[in-house]
Amino acid sequence: MTRKRTLPWIAWRWSCRLPAVVAILWVGKRQLFDLAADPHEMHDLAENPRHAHVLTELCQLLREGFAALGDPLMAGAD
């Protein structure tokens, strides 16, 4: 009998959550959700120019936090 070997699929993601918003960084993709208006995270605001400053601020906070920890994987997040 042969056993089929499969490798687990791993999605690298990081998130920064404040009381009203959450930013999620995937390798190659960014998402932003307004948790007060959209608690189930159904409407991604990352591409909306009105929310660009919020996404930029949360991404910067996330990068600074992981840089302080020396996380080598953050280098691949966009």
- pLDDT tens for each residue of the chain, 78 residues long: 444 544 444 556 777 787 888 788 776 788 899 999 999 999 999 999 999 999 888 888 887 887 888 776 555 554
User: Looking at residue 43, what is its pLDDT?
Assistant: 94
Q: How far apart are CA 75 and CA 28, in angstroms?
A: 11
User: Looking at residue 75, what is its pLDDT?
Assistant: 54
**Sign of the four-CA dihedral 45, 51, 55, 61:** negative
Q: Report the C-alpha dihedral over residues 16, 18, 21, 24, rounded to 10 degrees.
A: 10
